[in-house]
């Protein structure tokens, strides 16, 4: 099964402060993004954020499918 290519999230998404202080994968990526001036690392953080968000959506989809089976 081929993997879908993800586009990096916007720089605006990396600047969100709503989850500051949380211990989530996305927040850790935001923290790394803001700790560096290296553009390649920043791009990789944005790409990883996109992949993490897609993974989260897929997990929610699996959970909904599993709940449908039990009903």
Structure confidence at residue 1 (pLDDT):
52
Listed residue (58, 59, 47, 56) closest to 13, CA to CA = 47
Residue 19 tokens, joined:
């989850």
* pLDDT tens-place string over residues 2-61: 667 889 999 999 998 887 777 889 999 999 999 999 999 999 999 999 999 999 999 999
Structure confidence at residue 10 (pLDDT):
92
Q: Are 52 and 28 in contact (CB under 8 A)?
A: no
Listed residue (56, 4, 5) closest to 29, CA to CA = 56
Structure confidence at residue 3 (pLDDT):
66
């Amino acid at each position: 099964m081929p993997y879908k290519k993800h586009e990096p999230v916007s720089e605006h998404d990396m600047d969100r402060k709503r989850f500051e202080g949380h211990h989530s994968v996305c927040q850790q990526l935001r923290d790394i993004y803001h700790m560096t001036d290296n553009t390649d690392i920043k791009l990789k953080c944005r790409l990883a954020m996109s992949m993490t968000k897609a993974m989260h959506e897929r997990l929610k989809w699996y959970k909904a499918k599993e709940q449908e089976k039990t009903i």
